[in-house]
Each structure stands twice: as structure tokens, then as C-alpha cells.
Chain A
Amino acid sequence: MRLRLVKQHTTFNFFKDWKIWIGISAVLVILSIGSTVTMGLNFGIDFKGGTTIRAESIVAVDVAAYRAAIEPLGLGDISIAEVFDPSFRADQHVAQIRIQAQEGQESVASDVVLKLEAALQDVAPGITFPSVESVGPKVSGELIQSAALAVVIAIAVVLIYIWLRFEWQFAVGAVGALVHDIVLTIGVFSALQIKFDLAIIAALLTIVGYSLNDTVVVFDRVRENLRRYKQKNLSELLNQSINETLSRTAMTSVTTLLALISLFALGGDVIRGFVFAMIWGVVVGTYSSVFVASSTLLRLGVKRDWSKPSNTDGNQFANIDA
């Protein structure tokens, strides 16, 4: 007996309610943009500059006492957050302390960190500092630039690749889905105020890769069916293609999610934000490859006759069967 996530023959009509799905996506995108604009992102020091200190103590973290100890040092904006994780030992209490970049200092003055550590040692004897990270404003500015550039380049490269291998309509559909996924992911990070740092950019790019993976598989089937059923109307053909690949889409999403969820639950707090972004991205990416990418394709229409080589599209790469 086999485990089947999706029964053998499905004939879902994915475009019957396409207005609803596109509507939901549009609302989510607007909400995401709205949240990002109004609430902003909780940038980590990679992008904002400043210092984070991880403090570990065998006694419970007293955020108020920590704050009271640090405030007299006049370091400007400080944030102290207790970190919880199931992998911690019973007597392991962790706090994450963040100090803003200090005025007029490129590098981080070590005496500031030493003073802060000394102050905390007074309120919580035996406290240790397993990690101290400082990034100057100069570097963080560059990091944010190169990160944004990486995302833009990734999208552009993908656009070109799909255009070469398929048709421009497919490329637009795929990129529409990608932008949708990225915006929604950034939106979630803004709405939940999860720390947004360099690793999240890596997660975003992986989502780009994953979401594309999904979209390309559907498109590949569309391309095949376009060659096979020359007369079928496009919406039926897209529906059939999605249904045929549905079992695979479900299988891959589930295996990827299985791996990611175990990492989320057991991988420790250091990479939790990163893994969260990926889980969210996989869910959104799966949804978008079905609804956003294919709906876009349906609206744009495609060239139907794939048997004759086209000399208008400069598309000599479309027939390379790997």
C-alpha cells in the first residue's frame, strides 16, 4: 500500500476561482508592503551597524535589571531580549543584547563592550558572553547594498534563463511568482518583527531558487502539453498540466518541509529565523507556482505552435533537451 498525498487522478479546476486567488495574493502583497513601510524591518547589526552580545547565565534572565545596569553607560538605544529554546539545558538562560552603532565610531570601541560586560557581571554573577558581534556603519551600508543587488541579479538571471528556455510569457509568470514570494516573506518578517539579517537574504535567495524549481516543473509540463495538444484551449491545458504535476509538487513540498521543520524545531535558536523564512518561502512558493505563475501565463497567452522553430523570438535554446 502506497502513501499518496494526492489521489491518482485529479481534475481540480485551478482557474475557476482565479479572481479570488489573485485577489488574496494582491491583498497579501499590499499588506506586506504596507507593513514593511509602516513598521519597517527589524534589521540586525549586519544591516544597521551596532553590537550584539549573547549573554548566558545560570540564573534566570532579569531583563529589567540588565537594562538598569546598562543604561547608566549612556550607549543610546539598547534592546534586551530573552532567548528561549527547547535545546537549552535547564540552567541555561540566554539573553541577546543589542547596542546601536556608537556616534562617530566606525569600529566598535572595545572598552564599551568591556564596560557593558562588567556592568552585567555585577547584576548577574557568573554570566558569560559566548558571542560578541560588532559591525561598523560603513560595512553594514555596503552589506545592505550588495544584498539587495544579489536579489535583483538573481531575479534578472532567472528571467533571462527562463526566457531562453521557454517563452517570455513564462519568464514574466515565473518572475511574477518570485516577486510575490519575496514580498510576502519580507512582509512576514516586518509584521512579526523577526530579526532581518544577512542570513535572511540567503533564505530569500533560496526561496527564489525553490519557488522557481516548482514553477519550472509546472511550466515544463505546460510546454510538453502545448506540443502535444495543439487545439486544447489554454486554460484547460494549464489545468491539466498542474493536475498532472500536482502529486510531485505535493511530494517535494512535504519532503522539503519535513527537513526544514526538523531544523526549525531542533536546530537551535541561532538559525531559527533563517529556517522560518525558508519554511514560509516553501509554502508561499508552492502556492505561487500554481496560482500566481500559471494565472499570469493564462492572462498573457502563449505561442501555441511549438513544432515549427520560431525565428522571431531568438529562441534557439528552447529545444535543447538538456
Chain B
Amino acid sequence: MLQIEGWKRVLIWATCAIGLLFALPNGFYSKVETYNDAKDAGAEAMGWPSFLPSGLVNLGLDLRGGAHLLGEVKLAEVYTTRLEGFWPEVRNVLREERSTVGAIRQQDSGEGELRVRIGNPEAIDHAMKIVRTLARPVSSLSGSLTDDIVVSSVGDNLIVTLSEAEKLATDDRTMAQSLEIIRRRVDEAGTREPTIQRQGTDRVLIQVPGLGSAQELKDLIGTPALLTFQTVVGQTSNSSGTAGIGNELVQSAENETLYYVLERAPVVTGEDLTDAQPSFDQNGQPAVNFRFNTSGARKFGQYTTDHIGEPFAIVLDNQVISAPTIQSAITGGSGIITGNFDVTESTRLSTLLRAGSLPASLEFLEERTVGPELGQDSIDAGKIACMVGFVAVLIFMAMSYGTFGIFANIALIINVGLIFGLLSMIGATLTLPGIAGIVLTIGMAVDANVLIFERIREELKTAKGPARAIELGYEKALSAIIDANITTFLTAAILFFMGAGPVKGFAITLGLGIITSVFTAIFVTRIMVVIWFEWRKPKTLEV
């Protein structure tokens, strides 16, 4: 009657053993961490046997310290840039039809549209038709093909905007590109295990453990680092002056009252750079050395050959950082950017230029910094609290249920081991609320055992002999255990899907804790009770 089949016993103990094996590395945290780092770096890893699992529970930012940023990518900026780049094409096709549409001029336009005025307003329909031929097909959400642009008109103004489908496609590209650039920049800075995730349509979550402050992270990823080389048309001190069509007014980085009038179309952009390194100019001032790729070198060589003696502007994020005069043709494909840098700035600028520019600017919605000491304090406090709570529960259980209490306690220890094993296996992150989740699980894990033991006590009063009472106890307590734990598990699942950051960590430990505690209560304590029963064969039973 009171028995468990052999294969089940093997399965139960094997599950425990595997779980505990995966939990083992966490007992030697720093040792295993160095081992893993060495392995990642490709070096010969020492200090941890290679046949053992080496997965660790990741510590969340609130425990390890580090910086957390939530940024929003200004997707609409890209629409404007796209349409801006569309203008030469529009100009070319309309020019060919100049006889019917008349003179064409680009107008100042709002965000996300391109406005063109044509000389013969009555030919607007014809002009629209011509511009529409430039449209390229793009697949929309429903899968059908639509045009990437929408052409409309107001009076003699022709207006080109992006279609909804094209906007969506552009958004996706912009996000993918932003994530990639941010990843490269963070990697360039050499920090470990950064988390860079897309959230929703336009958000990016960046978490970098071990970084001193969110400010550092913002400096690194907050600037678009859009570098262009542009033709200088003139200089002015009038910030509200008009630059003229096709030109733009850009402030000088060194002198706030100085503005340059630049041709809007750049000669070369940062995209043509292959390398950038911090260096010093001939006066010993910090500077950045750069090298162009082949096409960039050719364009730049051609331009400098044609414009010797004229100034050109190096523009970074809408500021002229320097406007040197071309002394001689630069055909070698490399050059140097000088400006008012210090060494930190030149290092950062070269990092940014190597990683590439962000397609759109980022606005930060949330930032958190936790110092490593505070994290360590939290870990220490959490450890002590766990230990004390754990021991208190163990003593209490032993006092209440005697031998059976000891079984429950062994199961509880296995339970905590299993939680850590599962956390390491799935590479979950342990946060401070996560520790609270474990402590709560310790308190609640005994619940299933309490239900069973109380039930056995009741059955002992009526049932026929201890073996039957134990069997009935497990059997009848089961439905309460299952119902109670499923409801708690449901709330943990809701927390996991709805919650953010640390709350998610809490949901994970709580959810895993429920699974492991049901397993240990139903199977592990039972197997112990059965073995004990077979060994002692008690005639009477006290629970």
C-alpha cells in the first residue's frame, strides 16, 4: 500500500540531484564568475572543474550596482531626413518636364513632409503624376503592396509624405539600427553584460551593470554623433538670418555668437568613415584622427582638389566643431579633426565615430543608478535575513511535527537549492524583490507539507493504521494544495507579464518557488516518509 515504484524514486532523486548540481556554482560565486569571464575571453579557464555546470544567477542592477536607462527614439525625425534625401530625385524628374510644370522650388516644410512649388499651378495634376512614378512598392501590414510615398497638393504646392506602411517599415529599420549602434557604443566602452532591449514601438531599455552612473551612459549613447563635412558659404553673427534655399545656419561650437552658413547637402558624412582614433595635433592638442573608406576618400579628395583655399566645415550634431581652410588636396583618405577637446572628449568622439551615428535622437524617460556599495549592502542584508528566516522556519517545523518536520525541513533545503538551480539554468536575474520572493517562498513552501501533515493527523483519528493514514493524508490534501498553488501561480504569472524590472524578478522567484515547493512537498517528503516507514515499520504514529 504505502509505496512508490522504483523508477519514480530514481526520477525524483535524479531531479533533485540535477537541480542542486545547477545551483552549486552559486555557492562559489566569484570563483565561477572569474572562470566564466576567462572562458568568454577565450583564455584558458581555471579554478572551476569544466565538467560541472557553470551557469550563475545574474544579479540585477539593484544588487550589483549599475546604470539603467529607458530611452525613446524620435522616430519622426527619420521621416524628415528621408524626404529631405528624396528631393534631388523629385527635382530631376520635374526638371525634365519643365516645359509643362514650370519652374520648381523647394519650400520650407513642416515635419515629415516635402513641399515643392511649381511655376504653373494648372499643371499640378501632371506634376503629381510624375512624382508618383518615383514611388516604390512596400508591403503593408495586411501583406498587400502599397506605395512608399503619398503625393498630394495644396494650390501650387506639391506635398510628398511617407505612406503609413512605409512609416512602419522605417520605424522598424530605425529601431534595429538604433539598437545596433547603441550596442556597439556600449561594447566599445568595454563594459560587461549590458542589456539592450527594444520595448514597445519606440523605446530602448539599456542596463549596464557596474557602471558608475547613468550620466556616463547617457554621454555615451545620448548623442547622435552625426558627422558631416559641408561647404561653407559664409559667416554671420545673426542667428535669425535666412540662410537661403538649400543652405542652413549652423552655430559654432567654440563661439556661441558665430554662425556659419553651410550648404545643406554634405560633401562626405560620418558613414564614410572606417576608423577614428584619439590623437594629438601638431600643437599637442587632443584631436581625432580618422580614415575614409574608398568612396569617401574619393569624394573628399575630389572636393579638396577643387576647393583649395576655401574653408569647409566639420559639423557634429548640428554644431560646427571646426572650419579649417583647405591648404592642399587631401587624397590620402585620412584626416584629423581638431577642436576645443580635452582628452576625454577626443576619446569619446572617436568611440562614437567608430560605432556610427544614431539614425534619430534619443530622449530619456527614465534613469536609475545604483552604486555597487548599496547593492552589496542589499545582498548582505538579504543573505542574513534569508538565513535567519530559514533557520526560524526549520526550528518551528521540527518542533511542530517532529520527525515529519525534519523531512519537511530537508525538503525545504532542497527546495531553495532547486530555486537557485532553476534560476541559473534559465539565466534569470535575481533582484532585491526577488530575494523577498525567495524568503516568502520559504515561508509558504512549508504550507503544502503542513496541509499534508495536518491531514495525516486527522486521518490518524479515524483511519485504520498509520500506513493508511499517511496515504489518505497525501491523497486528500492534494486538491487543496493544487488549487491554492495554482491561484498563487496565476498571480505570479500576471506579475511577470505586466510588471517591469524588479517586479518581474520577484514574479520569477515566486513562480519558480511555487513549482519547486509543490514538487518537493508532494514527491520529496513523500519519498522520505515512505523510506522511513519501510525502515521503521511503526505500529503507531505521531505527527
User: Within the complex, what minimum Cβ distance (angstroms) separates A95 from chain B?
Assistant: 13
Q: Check A255 against B364 for contact (C-beta < 8 Å).
A: no
**Bound complex: CA A208 to CA B495 (Å):** 11
A198 within 8 A of B: yes
Q: Which of B356-403 contact A (CB under 8 A)?
A: 363-371, 373-374, 377-378, 380-382, 384-386, 388-390, 392-393, 396-397, 399-402
Known: A107-B363, A150-B495, A220-B484. 13 other contacts (CB 8 A): A3-B396, A132-B368, A150-B494, A154-B491, A161-B487, A199-B433, A202-B507, A206-B506, A212-B488, A251-B454, A252-B444, A258-B393, A268-B381
**Bound complex: CA A199 to CA B435 (Å):** 13
**Bound complex: CA A266 to CA B492 (Å):** 25
Q: Check B498 against A256 for contact (C-beta < 8 Å).
A: no
Q: Is the interface of A mostly helix, strand, loop or mixed?
A: helix
12 interchain pairs, CB-CB under 8 A: A110-B215, A139-B366, A154-B491, A154-B494, A154-B495, A202-B507, A248-B447, A248-B450, A255-B443, A255-B447, A258-B389, A267-B385
Q: Check A271 against B213 for contact (C-beta < 8 Å).
A: no
Q: Which of B27-85 contact A (CB under 8 A)?
A: 62, 70, 72
Q: Check A133 against B371 for contact (C-beta < 8 Å).
A: no
B503 / chain A contacts, CB cutoff of 8 Å: 198-199, 201-202
A158 / chain B contacts, CB cutoff of 8 Å: 487, 490-491
A113 / chain B contacts, CB cutoff of 8 Å: 215
Chain B's closest residue to A322 (CB) is: B482
A124-159 interface code vs B (CB 8 A; 1 in, 0 out): 000011111111101100010011011001100110
B542 / chain A contacts, CB cutoff of 8 Å: 2
Which of B440, B458, B487, B502 touches A259 (beta carbons < 8 Å)?
A: B440
**Bound complex: CA A165 to CA B401 (Å):** 31
User: Within the complex, what minimum Cβ distance (angstroms) separates B234 from chain A?
Assistant: 33
Most chain B beta-carbon neighbours within 10 Å: one of A129, A146, A202: A202
Which of B366, B389, B500 touches A263 (beta carbons < 8 Å)?
A: B389
A133 / chain B contacts, CB cutoff of 8 Å: 367-369
B468-512 interface code vs A (CB 8 A; 1 in, 0 out): 000000001011111111111011101100111111001100100
A260 within 8 A of B: yes
Q: Check B366 against A135 for contact (C-beta < 8 Å).
A: yes
* A149 with B388, Cβ < 8 A, contacts A213-B447, A267-B381 known: no
Q: Check A131 against B440 for contact (C-beta < 8 Å).
A: no
B488 / chain A contacts, CB cutoff of 8 Å: 209-210, 212-213
User: Within the complex, what minimum Cβ distance (angstroms) separates A78 from chain B?
Assistant: 19
**Bound complex: CA A35 to CA B105 (Å):** 66
Chain A's closest residue to B461 (CB) is: A8
Chain A's closest residue to B492 (CB) is: A209
Q: Check B450 against A251 for contact (C-beta < 8 Å).
A: yes
B386 / chain A contacts, CB cutoff of 8 Å: 263
**Bound complex: CA A263 to CA B491 (Å):** 22
Chain B's closest residue to A246 (CB) is: B454
Q: Check A139 against B70 for contact (C-beta < 8 Å).
A: yes
A220 / chain B contacts, CB cutoff of 8 Å: 479-480, 483-484
A244 within 8 A of B: yes
**How big is the B interface, by class?**
35 or more
B454-468 interface code vs A (CB 8 A; 1 in, 0 out): 100110000000000
**Bound complex: CA A265 to CA B494 (Å):** 29
A22 within 8 A of B: no
A116 within 8 A of B: no
Q: Check B396 against A212 for contact (C-beta < 8 Å).
A: no
Q: Which of A259-303 contact B (CB under 8 A)?
A: 259-263, 265-268, 270-271, 274-275, 278
Which of B365, B447, B498 touches A107 (beta carbons < 8 Å)?
A: B365
Q: Check B450 against A205 for contact (C-beta < 8 Å).
A: no
* A139 with B392, Cβ < 8 A, contacts A130-B373, A131-B370, A255-B446 known: no
User: Within the complex, what minimum Cβ distance (angstroms) separates A25 from chain B?
Assistant: 21
**Bound complex: CA A205 to CA B510 (Å):** 11
Which of B213, B447, B499 touches A150 (beta carbons < 8 Å)?
A: B499
**4 interchain residue pairs of minimum CB distance:** A256-B443, A130-B371, A268-B381, A259-B443
A162 within 8 A of B: yes
Q: Check A161 against B490 for contact (C-beta < 8 Å).
A: yes
Q: Check A263 against B450 for contact (C-beta < 8 Å).
A: no
**Bound complex: CA A260 to CA B435 (Å):** 11
A254 within 8 A of B: yes
Chain B's closest residue to A251 (CB) is: B450
A221 within 8 A of B: yes
**Bound complex: CA A220 to CA B476 (Å):** 10
User: Within the complex, what minimum Cβ distance (angstroms) separates B384 from chain A?
Assistant: 5
B390 / chain A contacts, CB cutoff of 8 Å: 259
User: Within the complex, what minimum Cβ distance (angstroms) separates A165 from chain B?
Assistant: 6
